[in-house]
Amino acid sequence: MDRLVNPSAATAQNHQGIVEESMEAAGYSFIRVRENGKSVWLAAPAIPIEVGQSIRWSGGGQMRNFTSRSLDRVFDEITFVNAVHVS
């Protein structure tokens, strides 16, 4: 079951990281980013992005156990953001 996590100070602040993996499906870019030594997953409106690029984002809503039917994959935790910006 999908579960929305309440926004916290961690999701409200500005973030920056290096793209480790990216895939597109259903109008979204699913992006695995290394931030402060930890890998996190983001979902954002589709954007051309490459592994190794530095990106910035802020805010968003976290979901746990999110199932992407178009990717046939379950993400343990993913943050849906309005946009990512190439740094």
User: How many Å apart are CA 17 and CA 84, to the nearest integer?
Assistant: 11
Strands lying side by side in the sheet with 14-25: 3-5, 61-68, 73-80, 38-45, 28-35, 14-25, 54-58, 85-86
> Tell me, what's the pLDDT at 59?
86
Split at pLDDT 50, 70, 90, the class of 10 is very low
Which domains occur in the chain, in start order? 3-86 (2.40.50.140)
What's the half-sphere exposure (Cβ side, CA atoms, 13 Å) at 72?
0
pLDDT tens track for 50-81 = 999 999 999 899 999 999 999 999 999 999 99
pLDDT tens track for 25-45 = 999 999 999 999 999 999 999
